[in-house]
Structure 1
Amino acid sequence: MIEFKAITKQYADDTALQAVNLRVNSRELFVLVGPSGSGKTTLLKTVNRLVVPTSGQVLIDGESVADQDLQQLRRHVGYVLQSSALFPNMTVMQNAAVQLEALGWDKAQIKPRIEHLLQLVDLDPKLYAQRKPAQLSGGEAQRVGIVRALAADPKLMLMDEPFSALDPVAKRQLQNLILRLHQKLATTIIFVTHDMQEALRLADRMAVLHNGRLQQVGTPQAVLAAPANAFVADFFKDVIAAQQTLAQVVAAGFGRPAHHAADKTLFSSTSIYTWAALLHAAPESVVQVGATQLTAADLIAYLATCPKGGLSHV
């Protein structure tokens, strides 16, 4: 668990963070979202002490990061940057193994560990292990950066707008990858983005920041359903206007009254894409929205009634 206690960061002519109090639960994929200059990256960097707050404390499992050995702290916290930041003269295997070399791992242990992680991120070690960064696409290089961050099996991974420089297809693929890795590895992830759709797609919970102040914390569904203030409502207004929700499915007459226990209860504000992801994992599942139960057949029937091109994917 990570706790931010009254974090303030004051620069000479600017206050980047103002008394931010926030808790990130263990094994949570937590997203910090907000416009450029909102303080989200500054807050992220207080975790691995790339930024030292003017006042306040950051605690990991109850221990202040200020009291920890800096090198040990950073070696046990995975960090993925906007650019992959790979060393151009080193192979994929060498780049991915940097942390393990620093931790003194035996070479006989390093190779199978990196090969396993390369397979997890869909890079065949036989094809990629000996390539140089110049031989990789942007998406492939970022996958290597993710492997490097995961190499030492950190309990916490920080991701600072890691997909913002990628094209939409590569971005989507890597979002899918992160969701899959998070489910498989159960690593705590703090993810920074200014992309509202990315935040809504990835987050278990998210925090909205503006001008260094925390505006709202909650699940994506809760934030969309009940924005805490005018800024949050305005920040997500385009997403809210475009989003297809379960409330719309029910209002269109699909579903049936609940007569037995459902597999899962969802908010009426839940995106149909969140519902679709649930059905992808469990096609026979029944979800309950208020007093109505819905199945996969209801989703198919609803989509069939929508105008062609009339859905905006969140």
Structure 2
Amino acid sequence: MTATSEPGHGRPDPGLSAIISERRQLTNLAYRLLGSLADAEDVVQETYARWYAMSPRQQEDIDSPGAWLTTVASRICLDLLGSARLRRERYVGEWIPEPLPDRSEWISGRSAGVADPADRVTLDESVSMAFLVVLDALTPAERVAFVLHDVFRYPFADVAAIVGRTPAACRQLASSARRRIRAPRPDTASSARRADVVRAFKRAWEAKDIDALIGLLAPDATATGDGGGLVTAAPHPVEGAEQVARFFVDRPTAAAGVTLLECAVNGQPGLVARLDGVTVSVMAFDITGGRIDHVWAVLNPDKLRSWTTG
């Protein structure tokens, strides 16, 4: 670690700058592992607390502070993933990862209410709602090995040191994770085309046009809501195009004072529902071949804090 500046000179500590510069990388990693920005931030805070709990001499003995921070953060996440399964058993209804707003939304002339989460988490395919939901089906060890190696490109020797297994065992974990992750169906549609589908869904929903909704949904489409027991949400996924269409037609939209807005959710076209200026639901979509395969609606207010407008 770079030595600190002499006291009294008022110069910034270059070593401190190097440590703090790792914060975004740690947040990106922890969010992908946990599916929660709030939990990811707690992990980063705990990681830095452990760093600063060491003496300056102990810190100087660490060859790569960035690697040390990544190892500690990953191990904390691994422990949290193990306990998360027990917490999920007590969770009311379906659990959906925490959605993230984008700095620049694809709706013309409108910027996202809160840019900060987008500053902390790089929004790409590895944080799409569809991908995070699939990751949540993995075992904790599979998820950590897969994300570290396949997403962040850490060699298996480094993954092994983090997970506490041999490189060969970590290779098997990542391989098992790949098999369990359903290969996405080819979709060459542009982001603009997917945005058009979401926009058409919004208009059909507002018009309560059930036939139009059915036409936009894949035959085996599903819709999942997450209210966390704090607000009303369907206790189980709704399955089938007609059933999903009828479910949305029966739900209140703009006619009941709710405003639907097109926005980016985890970097993909989505919708936000607001009531009296307060975000009450964020919807993410999985779209293939011009049809919607899945709708995820997050209504749990604890997961919508990043969407609070100032």
Tell me which interval the TM-score lies in, with the shorter structure as reference length.
Answer: under 0.3
Q: Give the TM-score of the pair, scaled to structure 2.
A: 0.27
Task: Please identify which structure carries the higher strand content.
Answer: 1
Larger helix proportion of the pair = 2
Q: TM-score normalized by structure 1?
A: 0.26
